[in-house]
């Protein structure tokens, strides 16, 4: 039997992603004595600069943005009681089609075996029971998020783990968020475009629904640590009450759960491992 705490590793693209899709489960399982590890693959240098300036605009210094975001990531992980924070050392690749996609050091341009080797070394170091990643489309098509999926799947082929989950938003939740935004008179590009082509996964494909309501204050505070970024500020601007209604459940697809025709439905990432 296992004589060490269960260990959960969440692989993420940028500083702040650890909160939006897994902040609740990181805080919840840390409180239950699980060892938690966040691996952030890029430095987030293509994020917002001071005053919300975008890459390429005057006043946007990618190196300075990366330093700011590293501090924010550390504060966020401290709030979520993350046991170990690791980074893979790649540069943020920016949005799909930006010249930064192919810039030296960009995660999107990194050879798959090199990046997977770095992650596999961390998997061998920490021996997680469960690894969290994104789906093939990275949730919404950002190159670094797509690359996180590819690199994680290649890494677990090199260093196998018991269980892999992909963060996956159910279409019902996407619709509900869209409706609440409209009620509040807020337009959110990613949600609005969802009307033409639904984002997220069909609800019946979601295997794992984890209630993170008890740790929502920690999730809210962790996202608040990423104050330099407009995306986080948007959700913080909703206030704690509305935040709770859109962020209170974290959902995942368990990789391989379809094998053998068994349909998994669970409310815990550690079902059967404790
Ligand atoms: Zn991201």
Q: How far is the CA of 143 from the centre of ligand 1 (A)?
A: 9
Domain match, 150 and 198 both = no
> Is residue 264 in some structural domain?
no
pLDDT of residue 197: 58
Q: How far is the CA of 262 from the centre of ligand 1 (A)?
A: 32
For residue 115, give the H/E element and its range.
helix 112-126
**Residue 230 predicted with pLDDT over 70:** yes
Q: How far is the CA of 148 from the centre of ligand 1 (A)?
A: 10
> Is residue 247 in some structural domain?
yes
Q: How far is the CA of 272 from the centre of ligand 1 (A)?
A: 30
Record the tokens describing residue 138, joined without a space: 């990275």
Q: Give the end-to-end CA distance of the chain in Å, rounded to a whole number.
A: 10
Q: How far is the CA of 237 from the centre of ligand 1 (A)?
A: 19
**252, 164 Cβ separation under 8 angstroms:** no
d(Cα 81, Cα 31) in Å, to the nearest integer? 8
d(Cα 56, Cα 62) in Å, to the nearest integer? 9
In terms of residue numbers, what domain contains 185?
A: 171-202
pLDDT of residue 182: 79
Q: What are 64-73's pLDDT values in tens digits? A: 999 999 999 9
Domain match, 55 and 102 both = yes
Domain match, 98 and 186 both = no
Q: Write down the mean pLDDT value for the chain.
A: 91
Domain match, 184 and 220 both = no
pLDDT of residue 174: 84
DSSP state of 54: P
Tell how far CA 210 is from the center of its chain.
15
Q: How far is the CA of 21 from the centre of ligand 1 (A)?
A: 10
| CATH at 250 | 3.40.50.10320
pLDDT of residue 259: 58
Please count the CA atoms within 13 angstroms of the CA of 262 that sit on its side-chain side.
9
Domain match, 140 and 176 both = no
Tell how far CA 104 is from the center of its chain.
24
Q: How far is the CA of 100 from the centre of ligand 1 (A)?
A: 15
Q: What are 67-117's pLDDT values in tens digits? A: 999 999 999 999 999 999 999 999 999 999 999 999 999 999 999 999 999
Q: What is the pTM of this model?
A: 0.93
**256, 130 Cβ separation under 8 angstroms:** no
Domain match, 159 and 215 both = yes
**Residue 232 predicted with pLDDT over 50:** yes
Q: What are 173-199's pLDDT values in tens digits? A: 888 877 877 777 766 555 555 455 568
**244, 214 Cβ separation under 8 angstroms:** no
Domain match, 210 and 189 both = no
**Residue 149 predicted with pLDDT over 70:** yes
> Is residue 273 in some structural domain?
no
């Amino acid at each position: 039997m296992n004589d060490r705490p269960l260990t959960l590793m969440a692989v993420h693209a940028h500083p702040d992603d650890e909160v939006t899709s897994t902040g609740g489960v990181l805080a919840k399982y840390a409180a239950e004595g699980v060892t938690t590890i966040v691996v952030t693959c890029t430095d987030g240098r293509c994020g917002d600069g001071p005053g919300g300036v975008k890459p390429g605009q005057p006043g946007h210094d990618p190196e300075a943005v990366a330093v700011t975001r590293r501090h924010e990531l550390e504060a966020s992980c401290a709030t979520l009681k993350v046991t170990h924070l690791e980074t893979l050392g790649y540069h943020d690749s920016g949005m799909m089609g930006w010249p930064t996609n192919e810039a030296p050091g960009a995660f999107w341009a990194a050879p798959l075996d090199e990046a997977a080797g770095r992650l596999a070394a961390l998997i061998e170091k920490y021996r997680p029971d469960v690894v969290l990643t994104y789906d093939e489309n990275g949730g919404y098509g950002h190159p670094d998020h797509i690359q996180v999926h590819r690199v994680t799947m290649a890494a677990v082929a090199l260093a196998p783990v018991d269980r892999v989950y992909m963060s996956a938003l159910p279409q019902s939740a996407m619709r509900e968020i869209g409706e609440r935004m409209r009620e509040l008179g807020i337009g959110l590009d990613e949600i609005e475009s969802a009307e033409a082509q639904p984002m997220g996964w069909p609800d019946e494909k979601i295997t794992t629904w984890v209630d993170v309501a008890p740790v929502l204050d920690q999730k809210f505070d962790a996202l608040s640590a990423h104050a330099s970024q407009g995306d986080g500020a948007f959700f913080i601007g909703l206030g704690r009450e509305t935040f709770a209604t859109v962020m209170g459940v974290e959902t995942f697809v368990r990789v391989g759960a379809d094998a053998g025709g068994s349909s998994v439905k669970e409310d815990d990432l550690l079902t059967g491992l404790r």
